[in-house]
Homo-oligomer: A and B are copies of this chain.
C-alpha cells in the first residue's frame, strides 16, 4: 500500500487511463451490526489496503453512506483497478439480486443493498451472508485451503458456520447451509435468541457466555467479586469480562471458560458426525481470544465422534482471523461467474 490515499472515484478514473498496467482488485466489505470493515484484495486474495469504521444506527441510507465513506478512505492504491465488490452481511440475503431480506442487528428488512452499491460504485456487486463469506475466505486463503470437505464454525457474538464440499460452497434452500449455531446441544436447555432452546449458540456464543457468567455470579456471589468489579455490575458482565478475568486467574471465570470449551467440543463432535468434514476450521472472536479452545475441541472430537469421521478430520484454527470476511467477500466478487452470481 502506498502512502497516498486517493479517493475511490479519482483512483478509478486514473487507472482507467492506463488499463494495460493496472492490476485487478476487488473490494471486500464485511458489514456487522455496529461496524463495517473494508479491504481491497488482489486477484490472489492478498489484502492491498484496508480500513474499518463504526456505522450509524438508523436509516439504511446512512449505513450505505458509511460503507461508501469507508471505501473512499481505503481508496485504491496506484497500480490497481477495482473490478467488483463483495459484501458479507450478518443476516439473510437473496444472492440473486443482493437483496438483504432480514438483518436483525441492522434492523433491515428487504433492503436492496446490492442494487444501491452497484449504482454507487458502478461495479458488479455480490451480496452474501457474512458467515458464507468468511467460509469462502478461509477456504481460498486461510486454514481451509485445499480441503475438499470443509466445515467452518465461527464463534463470536453468535455462532455460524459454512460448508464446502467437492469444490463448492453449499448454499441450502435459504442460503443458510451450515448454520450450525442452532443445531441442538441440550434439547430443552438454555433459552436461545432463536425460537428454540438448547442450541449450541445458547451455550458458547459471546452473549451466552455473558448470560452464563451473570447467572454463575448470582448463584455464587462469593466467587463473583472479580467479575463484578471488572464489569461494574452483574448485568454488565460480558464475554470479554470473562476472558480477561480468566487470563488473570480468577477461578470462577476459568471455570466458565473451561465449560465453554467442553460445550463447544461436545457440539462439534456431533457436527463432525453429521457433516463428515476432512477439515474443521474454528474462527470468530471467541476463538481469537481463546485459541486454547482449539486443542480441547480437537481432543473431544477425536474421543467422541464416530471413529471413521474422527479419523478423517483435522481440527484447526482460522488463519485469517477477523480478515476472513473481507477477503472472502472480495473473492466471491472475483469468482462471481463461477458461483453463478449476476
Contact = CB atoms under 8 A, between A and B. Distances in A.
Interface of A: 92, 101-102, 148-149, 161, 165-166, 168, 170-189, 194-196, 198-199, 263, 266-267, 269-271, 273-278, 303-309, 311-313
A275 B172 contact: yes
A277 to B, nearest CB: 6
Given A183-B270, A187-B267, 16 more contacts: A149-B172, A172-B276, A173-B312, A174-B311, A174-B312, A176-B276, A176-B306, A178-B276, A180-B274, A182-B270, A182-B274, A183-B273, A184-B185, A186-B186, A194-B306, A271-B274
B271 A172 contact: no
A140 to B, nearest CB: 19
B177 A275 contact: yes
Contacts of A176: 273, 276, 306, 308-309
Contacts of A304: 195-196
Q: How many copies does the complex hold?
A: 2
Contacts of A194: 273, 306
Contacts of A102: 308
Contacts of A178: 274, 276
A251 to B, nearest CB: 22
A119 B242 CA distance: 64
B309 A184 contact: no
A258 to B, nearest CB: 15
A276 B173 contact: yes
Nearest to A150: B173
A179 B177 CA distance: 16
Contacts of A101: 308
B172 A277 contact: yes
- Identify the interface centre among A175, A266, A309, A312: most chain B CB within 10 Å of its CB: A309
Contacts of A188: 186, 266
